[in-house]
Amino acid sequence: MMRFGVMCSGTVFQQWQANAIMELKKHGHQPVLLITDCREVLPRGLIRRFINKNLHTLLFSVLENRFFSPSAKRLVSMESELAGVDVLPCRVDQKGYSEHFRESDISIIRSCRLDFILRFGFNIIRGDILETAKFGVWSFHHDDEMKYRGGPAGFWEIYHDDPVNGAILQRLTSKLDGGIILRKGYLKTLSHSWTGNLQQLLTVTSMWPALAADELSGLPDDEDSATMKISSTNARIFKVPGNLQMILFLWKLFRNRISFYFHEFIKAEQWNVGIVAKPIHEIAQGDDFLKSGEITWMATPEKHTYYADPFGFVIENNLYVFLEVFSYKEMKGRISDFIFYINPDRKLPPHQGSWNPSGRRNPIRVGEETGHLSYPFILEFQGERYCVPESNAAGKICLYRFDFQKLIFSEEKVLIANVDAVDPTLVFYRDLWWLFFTDRLFSNTHLNLYYSDRLNGDYKPHCLNPVKIDIRSARPGGTPFIHEGNLYRPSQDCSKTYGGRVIVNKVLHITPEIFEEEIVRAVEPAQNSHYHHGLHTLSGVGDLTLIDGKTYRANWFYFVNQCRKKFLAKTKQRV
């Protein structure tokens, strides 16, 4: 348990700030001091407020709170939740742009023996206040500080057509924007809605103080891992946009919204599966783009279906490919398999003549699941073949063993219950089994990690979950592989579009207490192929690699379903 203080203006907070405090309390951390700003704010009449407005930024000032205020910024009272917490009214001395706390107040704060202070009040603070708590003063910056310093939060990403919106929770230092990074994440920029973009930024990051406090409370007294993550940004400092910039911003919002709804209702994804006669490590370390001449695509799926998420294994000269078959009529996926004969001469370039489909069973039922099934992840261990499909509708992750006589998978064990896991992926590395997945609520951004000493053993959550928050490289995207002693993990880059490309991550450190990986390269879809709009699976099968590719086409069933979802959502909001 950690003792913390909060810099604020009283017991009224924005909703996301209140959520952060309540999340800390749920994790067992105790608020013991409210450090309030007692500077007197003189009321100003309408005329005085208008005179004091900067006419250069008047349009932004008028529109910000009237049209771009998300529910996460709604004011709520926490008087009852913070009853019994000591309150210390403080005044600060202004020195340039910086605010310095007075020594008498700093002495009182030190006497409270705080582990950290969460800053939800005051402005740019410097001086001894930064060292009064064991782990310092924590502050949010809801942009990627390596690109956008200053503010407004989540604004300039839309203005500059940046598909990714970063955010950090940092421990402040005397250097402006040079804090110690406690948590950092990357989300998809909601370019059609600044309100929505702010809402997701504030909501997602509100849990970070609790996660950082959990991590630091588990460290020995003489160890602080966060000291190694100091921001070294020299990015441009952005300010409130001028009137002309605001007009251009409004035009971009309008344009982006038209594009968003066109994609949302008209452009249905159409995936197909291909085979490449190369091992996965060669593709992961080769050219940036796949070469269309090296890909053998399966026969075009029926009009209202698509094939995706291929995995497989080889028995003699037969390649068994398991994949998702998604139906727009049913709006549900299932697992099916295709069996291909492999030409013994692997040096021949792949083409339809050398990959002959010999049969198909449709559908293959994995266990008794009746909901949506996808991502049939395959692994081989001790001569057995296993499958861990995505079945988040069932609320569990199951391990299935392949029956060589019946040629089907049967349930072996529930690995994790009560979890809405997306794209579960297993790998054995350094004496432990590691299970990666995202959850349905944050399916493209929040990577979770579990581990066990046995394949069918009890899996424990990593203490840093989610171990990574990154729209560019969190969600699993195929078969992890070990090459030259290093573990590599394919993942999906969903920053520009869902399943836009595959990112190959090199795992630098992985233990029950630590996880760190770095992006080593991106694998782009084959540009001269029909399926050049996306790639989200690299699946190794010996010296072959299975992939999938995306294109778009209009689909009536998709359009009707999207309209139904929007109508039902609005109906529920009215109710």
Q: What is the pLDDT of residue 338?
A: 85
d(CA 316, CA 318): 6
Closest by alpha carbon to 272, among 304, 309, 311? 309
- Residue 490 and residue 423 in contact, taking contact as beta carbons nearer than 8 Å: no
Q: Is the domain covering 3-260 a CATH 1.20.120.420 domain?
A: no
- Supply the pLDDT for residue 226: 43
Please return the burial class of 518, using the count of CB atoms within 10 Å of its CB with bins 0-12, 13-18 and 19+. exposed
Q: What parts of the chain have a pLDDT lower than 70? A: 40-53, 219-228, 344-371, 568-575
Q: What's residue 116's pLDDT? A: 97
From residue 121, give the alpha-carbon distance in Å to each of 34, 154, 450: 10, 20, 37
**Confidence (pLDDT) at 228:** 59
Q: Can you read off the two tokens belonging to residue 461?
A: 């959550």
Considering the entire predicted model, what is its pTM? 0.90
The DSSP 8-state label assigned to residue 174 in this structure reads S
pLDDT on residue 371: 66
Q: Which of 108, 141, 151 is nearest to 238 (CA)?
A: 151
* Pairing status of strand 137-141 against strand 164-171: antiparallel
The closest alpha carbon to 337, from 317, 367, 307, belongs to 307
Residue type at 465 in one-letter notation: N
Domain boundaries, the chain: 3-260, 266-574
Query: What is residue 383's predicted lDDT score, i.e. its pLDDT?
Result: 92
Dist CA 512 CA 467 (whole Å): 11
Res 409: pLDDT = 87
Q: Which 3 state secondary structure label does DSSP give 231?
A: coil
Please give the CATH topology (third level) of the domain spanning 266-574: Tachylectin-2; Chain A (2.115.10)
| pLDDT score, position 43 | 56
pLDDT (0 to 100) of residue 337? 85
Pairing of strands 86-90, 98-101: unpaired
